[in-house]
């Protein structure tokens, strides 16, 4: 399904909707070109889960962990753009970062992709005029949750 996200308020609302549905083990896979809004949506999810303050883009650190509490769930926010091989994600300890929590992944295809996981919510963002369009593809575990 597709959603129109004309402004940042719409992005915040989508992030809050996703955050309320997240369960341990989930992945939110955010695909889209440069400036499509991946980090913006990741920030909206993190804030809705209870994070206060900055959310640095994990462009250089690749994986930024967020603890619970203060968040409702632990989150690993990753930007896999700079990976040269998908295996590097495991070499960085991705499985440990994911333990008991949620992975928000920008450029998921650079880490081999997560869409085969039942807990993966795949969102593709595109620039449309001043706003954005989201195409949402829920994994098996998300079909009943996502309305």
Taking CB within 5 to 8 Å according to partner kind, which of Mg ion, ligand ATP, none is near residue 87? none
Does residue 134 bind ligand ATP (CB under 6 A)?
A: no
Does residue 43 bind Mg ion (CB under 5 A)?
A: no
Taking CB within 5 to 8 Å according to partner kind, which of Mg ion, ligand ATP, none is near residue 5? ligand ATP
How many Å apart are CA 25 and CA 5, to the nearest integer? Answer: 27
Q: Give how far Cα 60 sits from Cα of 32, 43, 48, 78, Å.
A: 18, 17, 24, 10
Taking CB within 5 to 8 Å according to partner kind, which of ligand ATP, Mg ion, none is near residue 119? none
Count residues near Mg ion (CB under 5 A): 3
Q: Which residues are near Mg ion by CB under 5 A?
A: 38-39, 57
């Amino acid at each position: 399904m597709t959603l129109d996200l004309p402004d940042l308020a719409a992005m915040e609302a989508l992030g809050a909707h996703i955050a309320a549905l997240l369960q341990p083990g989930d992945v939110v896979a955010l695909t889209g070109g440069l400036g499509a809004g991946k980090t913006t949506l990741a920030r909206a999810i993190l804030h809705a889960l209870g994070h206060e303050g900055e959310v640095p883009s994990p462009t250089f650190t690749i994986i930024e962990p967020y603890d619970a509490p203060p968040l409702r769930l632990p989150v690993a926010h990753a930007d896999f753009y700079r990976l040269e091989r998908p295996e590097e994600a495991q070499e960085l300890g991705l499985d440990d970062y994911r333990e008991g929590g949620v992975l928000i992944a920008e450029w998921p295809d650079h880490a081999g992709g997560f869409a085969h996981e039942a807990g993966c919510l795949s969102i593709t963002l595109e620039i449309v005029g001043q706003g954005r369009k989201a195409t949402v593809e829920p994994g098996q575990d998300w079909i009943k949750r996502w309305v």
